[in-house]
Amino acid sequence: MRRAITGFSNPLIKQVRALREKKFRKREGRFLAEGLRIMAEAREAGHIPELLFLAVGQEPHPLTTALEQDVIKSDGEVIETSSEILAKLSGKSNPQTLVGVYSDISLGLESLKRDAAPIWLVAQAMRDPGNLGTMLRTGDAVGAGGLILVDDSTDPFSVEAVRASMGAVFTQSIVQCRWEEFSAWLRSGEGQLVGTSLQTETDYQAAAYHAPCFILTGNEAQGLPESYESECDLLVKMPMYGKADSLNAAIATAVMAYEVRNQMRRG
Amino acid sequence: MRRAITGFSNPLIKQVRALREKKFRKREGRFLAEGLRIMAEAREAGHIPELLFLAVGQEPHPLTTALEQDVIKSDGEVIETSSEILAKLSGKSNPQTLVGVYSDISLGLESLKRDAAPIWLVAQAMRDPGNLGTMLRTGDAVGAGGLILVDDSTDPFSVEAVRASMGAVFTQSIVQCRWEEFSAWLRSGEGQLVGTSLQTETDYQAAAYHAPCFILTGNEAQGLPESYESECDLLVKMPMYGKADSLNAAIATAVMAYEVRNQMRRG
């Protein structure tokens, strides 16, 4: 279906805008993505929005036209609206000209196929949506299968995380679970659990990694709980040459993931 | 000097709060840092705040006490105030209990000693303060000498960048200049300029790096201008296994910097 909405007080606009808040995302099982670049990634990964908002009077990009057709074909709605209303939806004065509403795509552990990828990222109690989104983007780049979010995590489907992921939220499998669930699932099959730690002398380049390798990163402020570290098959550390004793969580994950991937491609 | 401020309308409070905005930082040549962890890094690097705000009635941390003494000794002011006023200064409802006002510490190119470090980071037209701060933090970790910000950059002394740097804003040399100035300075001495690019087939692990190595990262959205790429001694790319063709700018910098550092430590 295709229609136009011009009024700020339209209930659909309010409902969609509410998806910027976690409680409404949970309740509705839907989330927002903005901008052609991210929505094109989503489309390529087979995710079509239920609702597609676009600014009237824009020169249509060919990808936008294709996306519109997909939405109509899958019984979604294309809604033409003003840039003022798009600004309201996106909370930005200079909004993207496309906003999509997608249904929740998080998975359960049981649906992960661990052999489908050589690397999996695991993040414990991530707090920062930018870090989380960046991890998804990095995971896509290194060919990881997905991101397993352990314990209380910032929402991977927040607008900020989706934006930082640059679309990888649609290409990486995303699971949210408790540590005990993850640990039980992990040990029910093959898998090497590797944590970065300050409590070890093992250089991250001196260790041997094998697929499927689960790279575990701890909370930004606290790092990994000791009991989680003790469950790792391997604890490694990156050399630090400066004053600080830690890297940003998304940075540490990326440096680790590229090392693991580099070892694997050397064979 | 030591005094207490309890009134919201105190002109000093207004003046300090204004340092959250770039134009006031420029005008005053001063910036803010918050929290004991970052201010302890600053102190260790020899940077003492001109003004130190702290919450009354806090159990004093030994480092806070040492910092207070340093401030008094260097003719600065220690100001005891309420957590409400600290919240106003920091723009957060749950503020740090320490806020410091530091004088500008950016440098000119001519004062950089390129041989003092094997790696230097160079970022062109950085937009995101979190990325910039994270680059500083990563630079500290890999033993870089500093961060050279080329063209119009987000302010490295914004509250967000200082926070993301975790104190590395005080340990890394920071220079802001135009490309032409950087290029002329670089070529006036030794130095290998390495850019990451999509326009090359050279794998970043197949290239040979030598000190002082200048790792150049382009703007988050546009990447490097072609004319800048053509001035590089070496263009390399990281292998990408997913759908996306780029990494977050701070991530790409970190993966590159660790590769360069790893090559150097292998000798």
What CATH code is carried by the domain that includes residue B73?
A: 3.30.1330.30
Q: What's the rounded mean pLDDT across residues A182-195?
A: 98
Q: Is the pLDDT of residue A198 over 90?
A: no
Beta bridge partners of B214: B120, B193
Last residue of a domain, one of A103, A135, A160: A103
> Mean pLDDT, to the nearest integer, of A5-20?
90
pLDDT of residue B94: 73
3-state secondary structure B48-72: CCCEEEEECCCCCCHHHHHHHHHHH
Q: Give yes or no: residues A74 and A56 share one domain.
A: yes
If contacts are CB pairs under 8 Å, which of residues 50-109 in chain A contact chain B? none
What is the pLDDT at residue A39?
Answer: 94
Domain boundary among A39, A69, A103: A103
Ranked by mean pLDDT, the top range of B6-10, B88-92, B213-217, B263-267 is B213-217
- Let me know whether B126 and B87 are in one domain: no
Distance from C-alpha of B52 to C-alpha of B59, rounded to nearest angstrom: 16
- Of residues B137, B243, B246, nearest to A171 (C-beta): B243
**Pick the residue with more confidence: A127 or A198?**
A127
Q: A156 with A25, same domain?
A: no
What is the predicted pLDDT for the residue at A75? Answer: 95
- Other CB atoms within 10 Å distance of the CB of residue A110: 9
Global ipTM: 0.94
Using the structure block, give the residue that is written with the tokens 């705000």.
B53
- B216, B168 contact by CB (below 8 A): no
Beta strands in chain B (DSSP E): 2-5, 30-34, 51-55, 77-81, 98-103, 119-124, 144-150, 173-177, 192-196, 213-217, 234-236
CB contact under 8 A, A41 and B130: no
DSSP string over A134-167: HHHHHHHHHTEEEEEEESS---TTSHHHHHHHTT
A12–chain B nearest CA distance, Å: 32
Shared-domain flag, residues B67 and B138: no
Please name the amino acid found at residue A9: S
Question: Which of these three, B50, B75, B103, is where a domain ends?
Answer: B103
Q: Are B93 and B140 members of one domain? A: no
pLDDT tops 90 at residue B202:
yes
DSSP-derived pairing of the beta strands A77-81 and A173-177: unpaired
Average pLDDT of B155-180? 97
Residue with tokens 């969609």: A16
Asked if A98 contacts A35 with a C-beta cutoff of 8 angstroms, the reply is yes
For chain A, the domain total comes to: 2
Instruction: Indicate the residue of A142, A247, A258 with minimum beta-carbon distance to B141.
Output: A247
Same structural domain, B152 and B217: yes
Neighbours of B30 (CB within 10 A): 19
Q: What is the pLDDT of residue B89?
A: 85
B99 & B119 share domain? no
Tell me the two tokens of residue A172: 């990486």
**pLDDT score for B229:** 96
Residues of A in contact with B168 (CB under 8 A): 242-244
List Cβ neighbours of B228 (8 Å cut-off, separation of 6 or more).
B124, B179, B195, B216, B218
Contact criterion met (CB < 8 Å) for B251 and A247: no
Which residue of chain A comes nearest to B119, CA vs CA? A241
The answer to whether the bond into B212 is cis (omega within 30° of 0) is yes
Which regions of chain A does DSSP assign to beta strands (E)?
Answer: 2-5, 30-34, 51-55, 77-81, 98-103, 119-124, 144-150, 173-177, 192-196, 213-217, 234-236
Q: Which of A45-49, B35-39, B164-168 bottoms out in mean pLDDT, i.e. has the lowest? A: B35-39
pLDDT at residue B3, rounded to an integer: 87
Give mean pLDDT, residues A36-64.
Answer: 91
Residues in chain B: 267
pLDDT given for residue A196 in this prediction: 92
Nearest to B223 by CA among B120, B126, B121, B119: B126
CA distance B32 to B161: 11
- What does residue A53 show for φ and ψ, rounded to 5 degrees? -100, 135
Which tops the pLDDT comparison, A57 or B176? Answer: B176
**Residue ranges making up the domain that contains B199:** 109-266
Residues A27 and A147 in one domain: no
Per-residue pLDDT, B244: 83
pLDDT for position B198: 79
Across B1-22, average pLDDT: 89
How many beta-carbon contacts under 8 Å exist across A and B? 109
Which residues of chain A have a CB within 8 Å of the CB of B205? 262
Residues B224 and B122 in one domain: yes
Whether pLDDT at B161 is above 80 = yes
Residue B167 touches chain A, beta carbons under 8 Å: yes
Q: Does B6 touch chain A (CB under 8 A)?
A: no
User: If you ran DSSP here, which 8-state letter would residue B224 be given?
Assistant: S
**A114 and A62 assigned to the same domain:** no
Phi, psi of B100, rounded to the nearest 5 degrees: -120, 145
pLDDT at A3: 87
pLDDT at B38: 93
CATH of the domain at A236: 3.40.1280.10
Regarding whether A143 and A225 lie in a shared domain, the answer is: yes
Distance CA A103, CA A157 (A): 10
B235 in the same domain as B150:
yes
User: Does a cis peptide bond (omega within 30 degrees of 0) precede residue B239?
Assistant: no
**Closest partner CB to A251 (pick from B44, B240, B254):** B254
pTM of the model: 0.95
